[in-house]
Structure 1
Amino acid sequence: YEKSADKAEAVAAEIRALGRKAVAVQADAGSTEGARAAVDGAVAGIGGIDILVNNAGISRQGLFADQSLEDIDALLNVNIRGVVLTTHAALPHLGEGGRIISISSVLAGRVPFPGVSVYSATKSALEAFTLGLSRELGPRGITVNTVRPGATDTDMNPADGPQAAAMLSGISLGRYGQPQDIASAVAFLAGPGASFITGTSLLVDGGAGA
């Protein structure tokens, strides 16, 4: 986590209550030092890494000509640079059967409305990185995939937000996704049933991309 210490510690406590190991590590996902600290903290706290889920991501919407360089840098740093750095730091700890799962977006390679050019570009880059890495790590028995959420009810894109009505009109199932919908897709790709799936993007968008 970067700022939400209380929420991160609460999740870790829930996991420990289930009899599992968990540790919350503060780190800046977009910096080399932060990526290394996150991985080192996880290894120290739970004893190793078998599954890496790259979940950090931000959105900064607005026409490209109007976006500040600070917003553009933030999008690039968190959405793609952070994934590359964290994956690089974690790779020495992953062995046969390891999993790398990155959270992408329905907007990867698809721009249905103005104002998401840089965001879409970062997620498209993430998809390309995943494809290349799946080729490199396949011989080591490590799978590399992405999950591409559509409109999901989170702080970044709430179901009661100003754009919700417009988004709902394009979703076949007629509702926003819930965080558990995305978590279930990640759990599937992390499990034994997905051992022959790599270099793939799992679309979880309620039919918005149909």
Structure 2
Amino acid sequence: MSVSDKTAVVTGAGSKRGIGRATAHALAAAGWNIAVLDLDEAGAKDVATEIAEQHGVQAVGVGCDVTDAASVEAALAVVEGAVPPVGAVVNNAGITSPTPFLEVTSEEWERIFAVNVRGSYNVTRRLAPGLVERGFGRIVFLSSVSAERGGGVFGGVAYSAAKAGQLGFARALARELGPNGVTVNSVAPGLIDTDITAGKLVGEKEKQVLAGVPVGRKGRAADVADLITYLCREESGYITGATYDVNGGAHIH
């Protein structure tokens, strides 16, 4: 059994400087075929083309709104018709919100939970039966240091609560699916240099934040992508229900 006959689904991998795109590339370099799901269909197709050309694997990009079950169903039907069976799922699609709790509206709260939690549910619920049936699967959730330390980076209460929800989701799912050869883990990035943080940290503010990071720099998307790829390996089958911090030591617990 090798990953070259399996596909890794990465949600929210359309952004040019995001963790999702870096992860899709890292997984492809490790031999996985890739399916990119993104709200931006053109971005998803662009990444898929780039990956197929650079890594010589099969790749497909599909437009998908992870918050909508019908959209997920349609997108994954396309994936299943285009590439080998799914062996890994990376729930990367997410949105942040810095809004203070006393100012957050119920609409914003619902939106943050819809993308981060319901989106992960829709994709995982649709793909998990196939992983169980084939007796092999790797599921990775992209949580956040905000879930562990209670916000204070970029995310407010809604974001921290949703990302903490993913941790509970992953841990309980790990118990259920473990007997079927499926591992479920979470990755909790700290400050990573992506479009989400671009332009928000400059000058003195950047110095203050970096002063609290022992390794002295912002993380790179590749720092997170490499860890996700490690967790998706066939050899990583005894690692499950774990949360991995990628924060340069900014939060040690």
* TM-score normalised per structure 2: 0.77
Q: 36, 45, 49: which one pairs with 2:86?
A: 49
> Where does 1:76-115 land on structure 2 (aligned, <5 Å)?
76-94=113-131, 95-111=134-150, 113=152
Q: Could you say what secondary structure the match of 1:24 adopts? A: strand
Given that 2:38 and 2:65 are in contact with CA atoms closer than 8 Å, whether structure 1 keeps it comes out as yes
1:160 Cα deviation after fit: 5.8
RMSD: 1.9
Given that 1:134 and 1:144 are in contact with CA atoms closer than 8 Å, whether structure 2 keeps it comes out as yes
In 2, Cα distance between the equivalents of 1:27 and 1:9?
Answer: 12
In 1, Cα distance between the equivalents of 2:44 and 2:136?
Answer: 27
In 2, Cα distance between the equivalents of 1:113 and 1:160?
Answer: 14
* Aligned AA (1:200): A
1:69 Cα deviation after fit: 2.4
In 1, Cα distance between the equivalents of 2:200 and 2:108?
Answer: 24
In 1, Cα distance between the equivalents of 2:193 and 2:47?
Answer: 18
Counterpart check, 1:142 vs 2:182: yes
In 2, Cα distance between the equivalents of 1:46 and 1:112?
Answer: 39
The residue number in structure 2 matching 1:64 is 101
Shift of the 101–112 alpha-carbon distance from structure 1 to 2, 3 Å rule, reads: closer
1:178 Cα deviation after fit: 0.8
1:67 Cα deviation after fit: 1.5
1:3 Cα deviation after fit: 4.2
1:202 Cα deviation after fit: 1.0
In 2, Cα distance between the equivalents of 1:44 and 1:167?
Answer: 46
1:25 Cα deviation after fit: 0.8
Given that 1:159 and 1:176 are in contact with CA atoms closer than 8 Å, whether structure 2 keeps it comes out as no
In 2, Cα distance between the equivalents of 1:181 and 1:147?
Answer: 11
In 1, Cα distance between the equivalents of 2:214 and 2:238?
Answer: 29
Greater shift, 165-174 or 49-58, is seen at 165-174
Greater shift, 77-86 or 89-98, is seen at 89-98
Shift of the 45–166 alpha-carbon distance from structure 1 to 2, 3 Å rule, reads: farther
Q: 48, 61, 82: which one pairs with 1:24?
A: 61
| Superimposed CA distance per residue, residues 176-208 of structure 1 (whole angstroms, 9 cap, x where no aligned partner) | 111111110110000133111000011111111
Q: 17, 37, 45: which one pairs with 1:9?
A: 45
Q: Could you say what secondary structure the match of 1:121 adopts? A: helix
**How many residue pairs were aligned?**
210
Q: 182, 185, 191: which one pairs with 2:224?
A: 182
Percent of aligned pairs with the same residue?
A: 34
- Point out where structure 1 has 5 or more consecutive residues left out of the alignment: none
In 2, Cα distance between the equivalents of 1:58 and 1:155?
Answer: 12
- Point out where structure 2 has 5 or more consecutive residues left out of the alignment: 1-36
Greater shift, 119-128 or 3-12, is seen at 3-12
In 1, Cα distance between the equivalents of 2:143 and 2:215?
Answer: 21
| Superimposed CA distance per residue, residues 44-66 of structure 1 (whole angstroms, 9 cap, x where no aligned partner) | 22132110111101001111121
| Superimposed CA distance per residue, residues 121-168 of structure 1 (whole angstroms, 9 cap, x where no aligned partner) | 111110001010000001101000011111001111127635544432
| Superimposed CA distance per residue, residues 53-100 of structure 1 (whole angstroms, 9 cap, x where no aligned partner) | 111010011111212222211101001111011100111221322110
Given that 1:147 and 1:203 are in contact with CA atoms closer than 8 Å, whether structure 2 keeps it comes out as yes
Counterpart check, 1:205 vs 2:242: no
Q: Could you say what secondary structure the match of 2:63 adopts? A: coil
Greater shift, 133-142 or 59-68, is seen at 59-68
Greater shift, 31-40 or 16-25, is seen at 31-40
